[in-house]
């Protein structure tokens, strides 16, 4: 019995082998190449900071919110109730498209979101962790863009 409990606990600690977490500079380069640097006036550092706080740089992340009223997809945890699949589908794409590590669809949808009235404030984690950060430059330290 103890062995089963221990095995269950250990399995919770092991990361899934298919996890596609990217490095900070890889994310920065893909976002830069996708045209997010100074898009709608937001510097690239803002986008990299957002990607960290939304998904820890995991472009295949899928998280249900605590209340079950939406699911977040991909690097920026884009919500299905407004932006993809069965909700309003304002990005005109499947939520699965937001899980591709090439980030093309993710960037396309993020651009639509940030053009809205809230800008990057559409992501509460950006408002909380990135909007007033004095050290945003650290998100690009050592990255070759």
- Which pLDDT value is given to residue 65? 85
Q: Could you tell me the residue range of the domain that residue 102 belongs to?
A: 18-140
Mean pLDDT of the chain: 88
- The residues that are catalytic are 54
Q: Is residue 76 part of a domain?
A: yes
Give how many domains the chain has, as a whole number.
1
The mean pLDDT of 64-84, rounded to a whole number, is 93
Q: Give the tens place of pLDDT for each residue, 104-126.
A: 999 999 999 999 999 999 999 99
Q: Is residue 12 part of a domain?
A: no
What is the percentage of the chain residues whose pLDDT exceeds 90? Answer: 79
Domain assignment present for residue 106? The answer is yes
In a domain, 5, yes or no: no
CATH number of the domain at 85, please.
Answer: 1.10.530.10
User: How many Å apart are CA 127 and CA 49, to the nearest integer?
Assistant: 11
More confident residue, 67 or 76: 76
- Residue 145 domain-assigned? no
Q: Are 119 and 40 in contact (CB under 8 A)?
A: yes
């Amino acid at each position: 019995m103890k062995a089963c409990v221990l095995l269950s606990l250990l399995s919770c600690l092991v990361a899934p082998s298919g996890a596609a977490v990217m490095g900070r500079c890889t994310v920065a380069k893909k976002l830069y190449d996708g045209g997010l640097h100074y898009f709608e006036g937001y510097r690239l550092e803002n986008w990299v900071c957002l990607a960290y706080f939304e998904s820890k740089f995991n472009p295949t992340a899928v998280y249900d919110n605590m209340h079950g009223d939406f699911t977040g997809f991909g690097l920026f945890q884009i919500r299905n109730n407004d932006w993809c699949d069965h909700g309003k589908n304002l990005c005109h794409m499947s939520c699965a498209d937001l899980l591709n590590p090439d980030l093309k669809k993710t960037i396309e949808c993020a651009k639509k979101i940030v053009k809205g009235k809230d800008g990057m404030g559409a992501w509460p984690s950006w408002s909380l962790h990135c909007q007033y950060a004095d050290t945003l430059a650290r998100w690009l330290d050592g990255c070759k863009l």
